[in-house]
Chains A and B, each alone.
Chain A
């Protein structure tokens, strides 16, 4: 149980285009989903926290208009990187939690490369 999927696993896009990444909780309802960014050989950096049906809460320094997060249902959250640039290339990981504290389940990650 507690499986989180991400789609796509890898994506290559051209500079200036937008890319959407989906995060799904497959066998549970996620009250909260988180989006992280991981640079090569570094730890995870929390970008934003989203609760179903409400606006996401972004961490300091994360551009809201560039990284659009939608949490339309209890099993789906999407991250859209708008007008992507090469510096947005990174590994993006989502996680989801139920109402129980301390438990987060991580997706397998999406490798974004902007050329």
Chain B
């Protein structure tokens, strides 16, 4: 079946620290992979995506590379800001349906 396993949080970092949130997946076929961000009290916003192996998605300083050999899509950012504090969800889609990880809460302190 299809599933997403995401690094558990919460994660607390100082401003300008390096961020990695691990995500691995199990899927049949060739899924697309996504990272969504959810700010307090809001819905999900697409952060970045990758649709095939070796693709790198990037947005707002965040990056993730679709690694088929390790079935991973780890989220990274070189220097986090206080405004990056949110919950991050890794997800995969096989075309019609999405499968979400459990979410990782990130708090960035000044």
Give the interface of A toward B (CB within 8 A): 6, 32, 34, 41-44, 46, 49, 93, 95, 97, 101-102, 104, 106-109, 111
The smallest C-beta distance from B77 to any residue of chain A, in angstroms, reads 21
Are A49's CB and B97's CB within 8 A? yes
The smallest C-beta distance from B11 to any residue of chain A, in angstroms, reads 14
Are B44's CB and A42's CB within 8 A? no
Q: With an 8 A cutoff between CB atoms, is B96 at the interface? A: yes
Are A106 and B102 CB-contacts (below 8 A) given A49-B97, A101-B95? Answer: no
Give the interface of B toward A (CB within 8 A): 32, 36, 41-46, 49, 51, 89, 93, 95-98, 100-103, 105
From A32, A43, A101, A109, give the contact of B103 (CB < 8 A): A43
Are A102 and B44 CB-contacts (below 8 A) given A41-B105, A42-B102, A43-B102? Answer: no
The smallest C-beta distance from B8 to any residue of chain A, in angstroms, reads 11
Are B101's CB and A107's CB within 8 A? no
Which single residue of chain B is at the shortest CB-CB distance from A107?
B43
Are B97's CB and A102's CB within 8 A? no
Are A106's CB and B96's CB within 8 A? no
Are A101's CB and B43's CB within 8 A? no
Cα(A93)–Cα(B98), bound, Å: 13
Are B93's CB and A102's CB within 8 A? yes
Are A102's CB and B43's CB within 8 A? no
Cα(A5)–Cα(B101), bound, Å: 24
Which single residue of chain A is at the shortest CB-CB distance from B49?
A102
From A32, A43, A101, give the contact of B100 (CB < 8 A): A43
